[in-house]
Amino acid sequence: MTAAEYAQTLQLKPVVPATATVSGGDSQRKWRHLLLKDFTFFYVSGELTYASQSTKKRMDYIHCRGGIVLPAYDPELVTHIIVDTANPDKPDAGVTLRTLGLKKLSDIPDHVPTVKWKWVNSAKLVPNGDRAGNFRIVEDGNGGHVTVRMDWEFMHSAFVARVHAGKGFKNTGGNEKDKGKGKPKAKTTAQRKEGENSEEEDNDSAEDISDISCACRLIGSVVGVRLIFVCSRNFTQDAPSPPPSAKETTPAVNQTKSVQSEREIPFISDPLGEFEALAKEEKKAEGFLCDAPNSNSLTSECPNQDIVDKLEELMELHRAKPTEEDKWRVYSYSKSIRKIRTYPHRITSYEEARNIPGVGDKTALKIKEILETGELRRIDIEYTEDLDVVHLFQGIYGVGQHIAYMWYSAGCRTLDDIRERKNGIKVSDVQEIGLKYYDDINTRMPRAEAGEIFTAIKRTAVSIDPHLYVEIMGSYRRGKATCGDIDILITRPTDDGNSHEGVLASLLSALQREGIIRENLSMPDFKDDPLEAVYRGLCVRPLREGEGHDTKRLVHILTVPYKSRGAALIYYTGDDIFNRSLRLKANKMGYSLNQRGLFAGVVRSTENKMIKTCDGHIIASETEQEIFRILGVPWQEPWERVRS
DNA sequence: CGGCAAATACTG
DNA sequence: CAGTAT
DNA sequence: GCCG
């Protein structure tokens, strides 16, 4: 979710005051307090697509101290702008202006200081009520009052051009307040959020975010601590931990709960150490794919690119084939190819290939052949005439390997053959739709369009019940520039005694009325659990004036019980390979992971592995972090979970 | 030689 | 329910 | 296909 959206969710959460330990003389006391009460912040993170863990934590930090975080910049309401872009010590004016929708820094009203995060951190309780410096009297959490002292804003001014803004710089007291009522010249954040993810957003983050994070890590390792610092700030969780009390106070929506309790790390404790830990993990963890944060897409100069190409070609041939055998071959190839792709030097012999874990005798022989001849005969052998046709048929939604081959052996060769039911083949309703929209379904959509459709669906959902938790997952959440489909998760907190029961049905009919949903592919079945259901269909982006773009897009809408949201997030965010690895690791550890949670003590009958003798008991499900932690998998942002 | 992820929905 | 697809 |  974006920073704006997160700020919005925060507003719904109750404020439970944080506590701080205060040493007064020889005794230590715990104070509940609302250090930041009466402040209204707008937080500039520079993160266009999502709020990072760090951003969320800082927003939480403000929230549980009584401060308000505006979801959109509003010069009328805001008292402080926090600029916390990539490098916290060197705020980015360009990013700030873009986020605010302004042209010049001077468009910000003079009474609104632009400060670095450090300023927020400077707030301290004054135990003896000593009134000196920049102090304020604020409510404590119990109806009383306490004294708070913090640095003057100018001491932590984000931009030299604006050190004068706010209090303290010169004690002029008044008359600057209404100078430039700074109305936004361009769009406000709220307005731009409307057309969210359209053009601008994608220009900035055009490609895979994973590439960025990857490059960042790489640079960091070469250049040294300074850059590692920058990178780790952006891509891992290392925000200042709110005081321990915050973890009971944060309502369940907060995904960071368990992490906070585990890592009481002061801000940037030891970036180098963190990096070493990562490196160590990568080295020794010959274990599970999910353990090592994405190190792929180092596509530039892979010394074994030719080998990778040939093996991939062969893998794709097997992928189209129908047998169980081929399925596992593909599984195996994908693993070995990944290893070869990240192998640092040119492979020169069978032996060398064979020594790579995941590369067995057969693959090593193939590599040898490629090294010697530059070709792979097996490709020609596997590339039978049926493959193209079967591949074509498999592009029809609802048609897999088996049906594709059945149709082929029935003599069908083209999509028109299928449309005509040539030789009496059967085509199901769903397949008929798949046929009708063959091109649409097989074309990935720009990220921005996925965002637009999501926004529209979310708007409708929230109009049905404003308390719904609605998130977009899948490749969108992984930061991809294009999306094959749209995965939407819906759930709802139950603390007010209500649930999202019945919402999906209403939502679907509403979306149908709006003309957003055009075709149904599969309808949910609420028989077991009214809170858990899956819908699949085809939708179009909300039509705009004079624009006839109505390419049908695959949409999946899922609902889960609120308790399961963490597990569901993992499950539906993927990617596929990452998930399989995660679940494999869970199994090896004696657990079982599915979209509802992480279970212990699951017993499967040895005969029919599909049947669980014992369901086991759930040990985690509410947050992604919790599940990662129990599985001993280092936290990875969605865009770092790319394995395929 | 068995395991390799795990669940839901549709079809017949 | 088994087989298929997602 | 690879692994234990």
Domain A3-17+34-119, classified CATH 3.30.450, yes or no: no
- The three-point CA angle A97-A98-A104 to 5° equals 30
Tokens of A370: 């490629």
CATH number belonging to domain A385-442: 1.10.150.20
Distance from C-alpha of A502 to C-alpha of A150, rounded to nearest angstrom:
50
Determine whether the distance from the CB of A362 to the nearest atom of strand D is below 7 Å.
yes
Distance CA A470 to C1' B12 in A: 36
Q: What is the pLDDT of residues A390-437, one digit of tens each?
A: 999 999 999 999 999 999 999 999 999 999 999 999 999 999 999 999
Q: Which of A247, A366, A552, A585 is catalytic?
A: A366
Q: What is the pLDDT of residues A83-95, one digit of tens each?
A: 888 867 778 776 7
- Closest Cα to residue A365, out of A382, A380, A378? A378
Distance from C-alpha of A32 to C-alpha of A18, rounded to nearest angstrom:
6
Which nucleotide is closest to the Cα of A525 by its C1'? B9
Distance CA A299 to C1' B4 in A: 28
Determine whether the distance from the CB of A363 to the nearest atom of strand B is below 7 Å.
no
Say yes or no: do domains A305-382 and A385-442 share a fold: yes
Residue A354 has pLDDT above 60, yes or no: yes
**Residues ≥6 apart with Cβ < 8 Å to A612:** A602, A603, A604, A605
Distance from C-alpha of A71 to C-alpha of A88, rounded to nearest angstrom:
20
Distance from C-alpha of A262 to C-alpha of A390, rounded to nearest angstrom:
51
Distance CA A262 to C1' C6 in A: 37
CA distances from A479 to A17, A165, A375, A605 (A): 34, 37, 36, 40
- The mean pLDDT of A149-169, rounded to a whole number, is 73
- Predicted local confidence at residue A64, as pLDDT: 63
Q: What is the pLDDT of residues A235-250, one digit of tens each?
A: 233 322 332 333 323 3
Task: Give A296's pLDDT tier (boundaries 50, 70, 90).
Answer: low
> H or E element: which one contains A24?
strand A18-24
Residue A385 has pLDDT above 80, yes or no: yes
- The mean pLDDT of A351-380, rounded to a whole number, is 98
Is A247 labeled as catalytic in the residue annotation? no
Q: What is the pLDDT of residues A26-84, one digit of tens each?
A: 455 555 677 778 788 788 888 777 777 677 777 777 766 777 787 778 786 788 888 88
Task: Give A127's pLDDT tier (boundaries 50, 70, 90).
Answer: low
**Residues ≥6 apart with Cβ < 8 Å to A384:** none
Domain A305-382, classified CATH 1.10.150.110, yes or no: yes
CB-facing half-sphere around the CA of A424: CA atoms within 13 A: 0
CA distances from A419 to A331, A387, A409, A455 (A): 33, 20, 16, 35
Amino acid at A350: Y
* Pairing state between β A18-24 and A27-33: antiparallel
Which nucleotide is closest to the Cα of A571 by its C1'? B6
Write the DSSP assignment of A107-175 as a string of letters: GS-TTS-EE-HHHHHT-EEETT----SSEEEEE-TTS-EEEEE---GGGGBS-GGGTTSSSSSS---SS
- Predicted local confidence at residue A282, as pLDDT: 38
> H or E element: which one contains A18?
strand A18-24
The percent of residues above 70 in pLDDT, for chain A, comes to 71
Which nucleotide is closest to the Cα of A554 by its C1'? C6
- Predicted local confidence at residue A37, as pLDDT: 83
Amino acid at A234: N
Please give the span between the terminal C-alpha atoms of chain A, in angstroms, as a whole number.
24
- The mean pLDDT of A180-186, rounded to a whole number, is 32
- The mean pLDDT of A90-106, rounded to a whole number, is 73
Residue A599 has pLDDT above 80, yes or no: yes
Distance from C-alpha of A549 to C-alpha of A585, rounded to nearest angstrom:
44
Taking the stretch 521-550 of protein chain A, residues with Cβ within 7 Å of any atom in nucleic acid chain B are 522-525, 528, 532-534
Query: Domain A575-640 is in which class?
Result: alpha beta
- Predicted local confidence at residue A544, as pLDDT: 78
- The mean pLDDT of A309-338, rounded to a whole number, is 95
Mean pLDDT, chain A, rounded, equals: 77
Residue A582 has pLDDT above 80, yes or no: yes
Q: What is the pLDDT of residues A534-578, one digit of tens each?
A: 999 999 999 877 776 789 999 999 999 999 999 999 999 999 999
- Predicted local confidence at residue A91, as pLDDT: 82
Which nucleotide is closest to the Cα of A612 by its C1'? B6
Distance CA A123 to C1' B3 in A: 57
Coil vs helix vs strand at A423: helix
Global pTM reads 0.60
- Predicted local confidence at residue A83, as pLDDT: 87
Strand C: list positions under 7 Å from protein Cβ.
3-6
Determine whether the distance from the CB of A536 to the nearest atom of strand C is below 7 Å.
yes
Please report, to the nearest 10 degrees, the dihedral formed by the alpha carbons of residues A51, A57, A63, A65 taken in order: -160
Domain ranges (residues) in chain A: 3-17+34-119, 305-382, 385-442, 445-559, 575-640
Does residue A244 come out as left (phi exceeding 0), alpha (psi in the -120 to 50 range) or beta? alpha
CATH number belonging to domain A445-559: 3.30.460.10
Distance CA A324 to C1' C5 in A: 15
| Most confident of the ranges A136-140, A169-173, A198-202, A581-585 | A581-585
Tokens of A155: 């001491």
Tokens of A318: 């097997």
Determine whether the distance from the CB of A580 to the nearest atom of strand B is below 7 Å.
yes
Distance CA A134 to C1' B7 in A: 59
- Predicted local confidence at residue A214, as pLDDT: 32
Task: Give A258's pLDDT tier (boundaries 50, 70, 90).
Answer: very low
Coil vs helix vs strand at A619: strand
Coil vs helix vs strand at A490: strand
Write the DSSP assignment of A554-593 as a string of letters: EEEEEE--GGGHHHHHHHHH--HHHHHHHHHHHHHTTEEE
